[in-house]
Structure 1
């Protein structure tokens, strides 16, 4: 686990993870005061919840995927990957160790957003509070299932095609799954287009892991009978991305 420890130490010393932690844990209490939600106390808690989860997603995309891309590229270009491979650490294991080190800092962002919502934005009624807690915990799990395979994908693409390419492709894929799929659905509602329908079907529906609408309108937790289906869907994407990442990842730059 030498590469894991090296990567973990590198991320920790850069201190950029601390900025993300502050954004998710502290900044949600600031953003509602910059909007009109303070004029109506009823809107303050929904605004706080939306800010917490939005910041968690933004930090995961713009910092987590960027960090994974940077580390994947440096591992291949600096000779670190080639050195560790010469000591018997296979490319697959190197990918896992880099992925694990980045994931330790990124995965808790969803849990941090959930804790902010539970501790500072829970409804007053006991029944609604218990449902609120269950909703946030469900989506912290879905957050991790979405982000973790994208970290591996960003790292592997960057190791072969460069850090900028790895970041743009992985961040673009995540943003499309969160927001672009909704616009694709709107186009399908306007008319029948076989290509658009096929594209919508094969698209990663990451919007299913975004709880902002459900929390804003207090729609409650996902039915426990349906929750395993969502877990299986995102687990399937995870397995696909793991296979692709392993095929793409390399430990040295080709001549």
Structure 2
């Protein structure tokens, strides 16, 4: 789902529709056009997407032999994916290089809190669910509050139900599915002291991701571009030793390379000595 622009500066979204169903040549032409128009493409893909979507994306990048396509697949629910994509669209208007912008996705993921109210957790496999919760899920009318990111939480909703939220000022998006519940807007949002709340349509992949269509999905986020920009630019930048783009963090999103020695255990101080018999 592509969220509406946050302001008039926000870059429009490029939605790659039906990647696993349309002819490969059509996908190649579409991605090639985007690269010709914009230079680089950062694809934010949900784990709720069909497996064929990821295979098609990798095939397209390989066939185009392009090092200008970054694939990022964070473990966020669909609404969180939509929020992250919009934040990157906001930052795309700033003086950030493609490598830094692509790397910013990992950084901004830490500031997104995602969850849902579910009518059943019997098919939920994204968050640990105990036997008691599974048993209570069969009780008519039972509802559960779940946090999937950044730390898994699960409670049965009742008068004392509570979930830990962000410790910074944030806005909240709410997307209602087929579950009649106002717990998020009436109880959770006030307890988290959110700065504002907006409703949006439920993403198409949400029911698959959460294991049920009876849900209300929610997500808190930082909406202001100056705050996002300050977060990204406050992190030390380096140059990817493999493809040469500027990056932040320990992995290049375009080529997946890590700094030399990053994954290698420290060598003993005397391992360079020549053994003697």
* TM-score of the pair, normalised by structure 2: 0.25
Normalised by the size of structure 1, how large is the TM-score? 0.26
Query: Which structure has the bigger radius of gyration?
Result: 2
